[in-house]
């Protein structure tokens, strides 16, 4: 049994300790906004915040999140930074297919929490998520828009 706080709600999960957090979120907790992409922590589609830091949920075993805070894209409604990012994404029509965007938005939230007004170089270094549609210029513009709306 693992205990964690997901989007501000204390949860108990009965799963094997090595089960990836991604599958606990999606299959046991019904939080399907976190996407499966590669399964090897490379693409970032499964990015969530663990105690405020971006992590790839596909490679994070449940026992490593016991007692910790997890924020998924579903938790965006309660977070002003995530709301600003989502608003910028909408205003600039950032997403094309949108599959990678929940992970991208979570990575951006972590960046803006540490660096409220990032430069292009800081964005490039921090946002390593892969977008098959190639919307990276719009992503960068969206990050700058969200940063400007503080």
Listing DSSP states for the chain in one string gives -EEEEETTEEEEE-S-TTSBHHHIIIIIS--TTSPPS-SSSSS-TTEEEETTEEEEGGG-BGGGTTT-EEE-GGGGGG-HHHHHHHHHHHHHT--SS-TTHHHHHHHHHHHHHH-SS--HHHHHHH-----TT--HHHHHHHHHHHHHT-
> What is the pTM assigned to this prediction?
0.94
pLDDT in tens, 7-27: 999 999 999 999 999 999 999
Region 130-147 average pLDDT: 95
- Give the percent of the chain with pLDDT over 90: 89
Region 134-143 average pLDDT: 95
Domains of the chain with bracketed CATH: 2-75 (3.10.20.30), 77-148 (1.10.150.120)
């Amino acid at each position: 049994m693992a205990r964690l706080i997901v989007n501000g709600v204390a949860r108990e999960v009965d799963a094997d300790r090595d089960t990836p957090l991604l599958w606990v979120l999606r299959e046991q907790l019904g939080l399907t906004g976190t996407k499966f992409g590669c399964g090897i922590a490379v693409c970032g589609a499964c990015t969530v915040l663990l105690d405020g830091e971006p992590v790839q949920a596909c490679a994070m075993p449940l026992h490593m999140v016991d007692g910790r805070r997890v924020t998924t894209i579903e938790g965006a409604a309660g977070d002003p930074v995530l709301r600003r990012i989502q608003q910028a994404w909408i205003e600039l029509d950032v997403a094309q297919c949108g599959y990678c965007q929940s992970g991208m938005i979570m990575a951006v939230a972590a960046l803006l929490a540490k660096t409220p007004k990032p430069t292009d170089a800081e964005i490039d270094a921090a946002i390593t998520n892969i977008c098959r549609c190639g919307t990276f210029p719009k992503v960068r513009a969206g990050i700058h828009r969200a940063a400007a709306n503080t």
